[in-house]
Structure 1
Amino acid sequence: MNFSMIKYILGWVLRLEAVCMGLPLITAVIYQEESGFAFLITLAVAGVVGFLCSYKKPKNRTFRLRDGFVAVALSWILLSVVGAMPFVISGEIPHFYDALFEIVSGFTTTGASVVKDVDALSKCMVFWRSFTHWIGGMGVLVFVLAIIPMENNSSGTTMHLMRAESPGPTVGKLVPRIKQTAKILYGIYIAMTIILIVLLIVGGMPIFDSLTMAFGTAGTGGFAISNAGAGVYAPHLQIILTIFMILFGVNFNLYYLLLLKKFKDFLRSEELRAYLAIITIAIILITINIIGQVGDLGTALLQSSFQVGSIITTTGYATTDFNLWPQFSKMILLFLMFVGACAGSTGGGFKVSRLTILVKNTINEIKSFVHPRSVRVVKMDGKKVEREVIQSISSYLVIYLIIMVLSVLFISLDGFDALTNFSAVSATFNNIGPGLGEVGPMSSFADYSIMSKGILTFDMLAGRLELIPMLLLFSPSVWKK
């Protein structure tokens, strides 16, 4: 384990977080809020410690894959611990375990909250909650790779970091150099965010709301910025948010293909077609199912579109209390929680690509019983999927299910009903936010015990980092030098 290199990376993460805290500090100055001092104190400490850890590049830059996974896991934990301090220092979320749950939910773009009265929070704290969605959406280390001075590294440091943090079964390079790939991804991310902000402002949404709602949409996070939720905005603003939630759930590599005018390659994506097909079918089924309850087709279509886009992309915004919908519609939303968005997007969940590959492999296995001598391969976008990838996805599914079952089992000690516990784990593990039952869109996770909040906090980090980086922290062999 190259501890000196890991310390160097953690130092850069702290420096980045210190810079990011400047924005909520400015917000506090604009709104003349005393709680802004909490950001000033945290910013100063993080900046100094970060500089001391990273001002000198280590001599030994050998960086293995396990080093990359551990560095990413520790980076996200450190980022969350430091990010929670303004809540605690200001007293707006006085208990550290609650503040940690809240900020982990922010950085992992989950949107699950322990805050019962969002309107009681200061503007700078609301801004910080939403901004953490945007920071964590594309990935903290992806941004660090775009700015950190690692150009001459030939040991694979950047690739290992990117593989550990990027969501999805595979990570590829858009251009030969990973540093340039990181810049391209963040360039697309920033451009789409700016377009969304402009459209919301032009549409009549207040500037503060436009910024915070755009941060949550881009990062597919979903923290509510008021007790009223997203339902207070006009229908045309809800439509804009719906469209962009779905757009941010698309693999960003496909947007790069559009920039290169490779339209055939873009349209060839099976994951994109499956993603859009699932969304369309879900919207139609829910619209038909709730039209009698809602009253008219237009409202039913608007509500179903928004909630389907919000849940499958793991954003978590809500314009209505879907906890009151018929069971059929709620079960569709529960299914979408597990499906998730596309690989390489800012969305969470199991990922459409994994699901597509598993379905294709299962069909091939069934056909092999009929024609045992036939040789069948799984293909995605016309290319063969290697057996190692299929085995990796199968292993991922097993670990995924084990963590799900254990998490539901342990938080059941708190005495909530089965639907609440199952949806709470589903909502946090898949980085969605609101669940069903007692953790529905109009409720919070505040009533869970400290132990349960700790388990759900781990689930959020494990879900965002694709399980392995967090699990490796518990392996003694990983820590050997």
Structure 2
Amino acid sequence: MIHYKAILKVMGGLMMLLGILMSPSIAFSYYYQSGDQITLIGSSLICLIVGGTFFYSFANQDQNIRKREGYMIVALSWIIMSVFGMMPYVFSGSIVAIPDAIFETVSGFTTTGATILTDIEQLPEGILLWRSMTQWIGGLGIIVLTVAIFPLLGIGGIELFVAESPGPTSDKVHPRIRETAKRLWYVYVGLTVFLVLLYYLEGMSFFDAMNHSLTTMSTGGFSTKNASMAYFDNPLIQYTAILFMFLAGTNFTLLYFAFKGRFRRIWASDEFRAYLISLLILVAGISVAIYYLVPGNVEAIFREAMFQVVSLITTTGYVTADYTAYSNGITIIFFMMLFMGACAGSTSGGIKFIRHLTFVKNSTLEFKRIVHPRAVVPLKINGQRVTGKVITHIMNFLLLYLMIFVLGSIVMSVAGYDLITSFGAVATSLGNVGPAIGRVGPVDNFAFFSPFAKLFLSFLMLLGRLELFTILVLFTPYFWRAN
């Protein structure tokens, strides 16, 4: 039996937290006198009142959250956060149509970075900061934040963390889940603050530095400028963005070990090595290809190639150039990057390198098993044997991901969009990347889609952000069957 009252209690706490997290936007709105103060205050109060009503109405409920409640809370939290998070857009008139507001908000919380806005720079400062905050909140996962704070309110969080992080690895910084979440958020907040300072010293205004730090560390990609990072034609700013996108795409457990001086643990990670080496190979290859097609300044070409590669693989989605303008071959390579993702345990979306690595290693070992059918050939990651259950889970994930991509592309094609645009829109939504190919390339946006298409792509963003199973399990009869 599912304990719905316990779920409502947690959802109430989440809404209260959302209301509190709107406060920085209110402060910036007053500072810049941008005219959206009342809108933001009203949105915050609604979240606090509605959330407080649910939380305190069920304050005495059973505090043990089992696995089924955990999965329901994770899935519902992203939906409810998106519904309540879109209020500042709608109330301020920045985004009038509800499907548009849902799309923009879901894109923010899932750190996808796709947008329906055609003139970002005309938005008031308070709304712009809230837009960036949605990505920062979603970056490491609103649920990881709550497992760090909710135990103080008497709410357990172990099942929530499991549901939020359904990947194949089980690395933990600390055996106590609350302490684990705290340490990850210390790293996340510390790097964000440090990046604000760097961007500011390198020439951004404090407001731009604040916004871009929030969306860089979350690998979200929202910008305060219509031209995205191309607006800041400053090599130092772009190299800084590249470095911190790379860090944000690294497993945050490894970043914590780095801060503790345990660097051997970083290089011992098979996934991190695959991540780093793949980036270097792609950057080198794309740089050479661009130089061959459009000869020019070597440093500028190298920086342009590196920026686009790191941005897409980490699913950040910043752009400094139109990567679809070089050649069809380069466009195909960048399209394939939409399916990569960075490291598990990072803020990036996508399939993640650990799954690709497991698939490649297992496929390679399969040839050895064919030649030596009686030999026991175990698959090892980080020196540890990977169980058959984990391998099966990864293979199922990859097959399901491919099926959803194909079916999603068919749906978008039937809805009236050309095949290339359909492929691009579905791939970038499911991978939480942002830019893609076709009519949703790096210099385009998603404003032209129909309301149905925007809602459908929003669903795919949620599906990708929660790594498929967390959402899809709710549609199975096994989940609802009584124990």
CA contact (8 A) 1:348 1:430 kept: yes
Distance in 2 (CA, whole Å) between partners of 1:268 and 1:172 is: 13
1:414–1:428 CA distance, 2 compared to 1 (3 A) = same
2:252 maps to 1:252: yes
Q: Which residue in the other structure is 1:425 paired with? A: 426
| C-alpha distance after superposition, 1:154-191 (max 9, x if no partner) | xxx52211121136323443212111111000001111
Distance in 1 (CA, whole Å) between partners of 2:252 and 2:104 is: 27
Letter aligned with residue 286 of structure 1: I
Quote the offset at 1:480 in angstroms.
5.6
Question: When the two structures are superposed, what TM-score results if normalisation uses the length of structure 1?
Answer: 0.96
Quote the offset at 1:356 in angstroms.
0.2
Q: Which residue in the other structure is 2:90 paired with? A: 88
Deviates more, 1:329-338 or 1:198-207: 329-338
Quote the offset at 1:281 in angstroms.
0.6
Quote the offset at 1:120 in angstroms.
2.2
CA contact (8 A) 2:199 2:237 kept: yes
Q: Residues 42-121 of structure 1: matches in 2 within 5 Å?
A: 42-55=43-56, 57-121=59-123
1:113–1:448 CA distance, 2 compared to 1 (3 A) = same
Q: Residues 383-402 of structure 1: matches in 2 within 5 Å?
A: 383-402=384-403
Question: When the two structures are superposed, what TM-score results if normalisation uses the length of structure 2?
Answer: 0.96
Q: Which residue in the other structure is 2:286 paired with? A: 286
Q: Which residue in the other structure is 1:21 paired with? A: 22
CA contact (8 A) 1:258 1:266 kept: yes
The DSSP-based 3-state class of the residue aligned with 2:475 is coil
Letter aligned with residue 246 of structure 1: F
CA contact (8 A) 1:414 1:448 kept: no
Task: Give the unaligned 5+ runs of structure 2.
Answer: none
Letter aligned with residue 437 of structure 2: L
The DSSP-based 3-state class of the residue aligned with 2:175 is coil
Task: Give % identity.
Answer: 39
Q: Which residue in the other structure is 2:196 paired with? A: 197
Letter aligned with residue 296 of structure 1: N
Letter aligned with residue 32 of structure 2: Y
Q: Residues 15-414 of structure 1: matches in 2 within 5 Å?
A: 15-55=16-56, 57-149=59-151, 157-166=156-165, 168-233=167-232, 234-291=234-291, 292-293=293-294, 295-414=296-415
CA contact (8 A) 1:13 1:50 kept: yes
Task: Give the unaligned 5+ runs of structure 1.
Answer: none
Distance in 1 (CA, whole Å) between partners of 2:218 and 2:36 is: 25
Letter aligned with residue 60 of structure 1: D
The DSSP-based 3-state class of the residue aligned with 1:80 is helix
Quote the offset at 1:456 in angstroms.
0.5
Deviates more, 1:28-37 or 1:283-292: 28-37
Q: Which residue in the other structure is 1:5 paired with? A: 6
Distance in 2 (CA, whole Å) between partners of 1:382 and 1:400 is: 27
Quote the offset at 1:464 in angstroms.
0.5
The DSSP-based 3-state class of the residue aligned with 1:322 is coil
Distance in 1 (CA, whole Å) between partners of 2:65 and 2:185 is: 24
1:171–1:93 CA distance, 2 compared to 1 (3 A) = farther
Q: Which residue in the other structure is 1:440 paired with? A: 441
Letter aligned with residue 103 of structure 1: T
Distance in 1 (CA, whole Å) between partners of 2:168 and 2:334 is: 23
The DSSP-based 3-state class of the residue aligned with 1:148 is helix
Quote the offset at 1:352 in angstroms.
0.2
1:10–1:172 CA distance, 2 compared to 1 (3 A) = farther
Length, aligned pairs only: 478
| C-alpha distance after superposition, 1:415-459 (max 9, x if no partner) | 332221101111110000011111011111111111111111011
Quote the offset at 1:338 in angstroms.
0.6
Distance in 2 (CA, whole Å) between partners of 1:120 and 1:167 is: 39
Distance in 2 (CA, whole Å) between partners of 1:42 and 1:131 is: 14
Letter aligned with residue 89 of structure 2: F
| CA-atom RMSD in angstroms | 1.6
CA contact (8 A) 1:69 1:468 kept: no
Distance in 2 (CA, whole Å) between partners of 1:237 and 1:380 is: 36
Q: Which residue in the other structure is 1:451 paired with? A: 452
1:294–1:210 CA distance, 2 compared to 1 (3 A) = farther
CA contact (8 A) 2:43 2:88 kept: yes
Which segments of structure 1 move beyond 6 Å, counting only runs of 4 or more?
A: none
Distance in 2 (CA, whole Å) between partners of 1:115 and 1:189 is: 28
Distance in 2 (CA, whole Å) between partners of 1:173 and 1:4 is: 30
Quote the offset at 1:467 in angstroms.
0.8
CA contact (8 A) 1:139 1:166 kept: no
The DSSP-based 3-state class of the residue aligned with 1:39 is helix
Distance in 1 (CA, whole Å) between partners of 2:9 and 2:342 is: 33
Letter aligned with residue 357 of structure 1: T
Distance in 1 (CA, whole Å) between partners of 2:170 and 2:98 is: 35
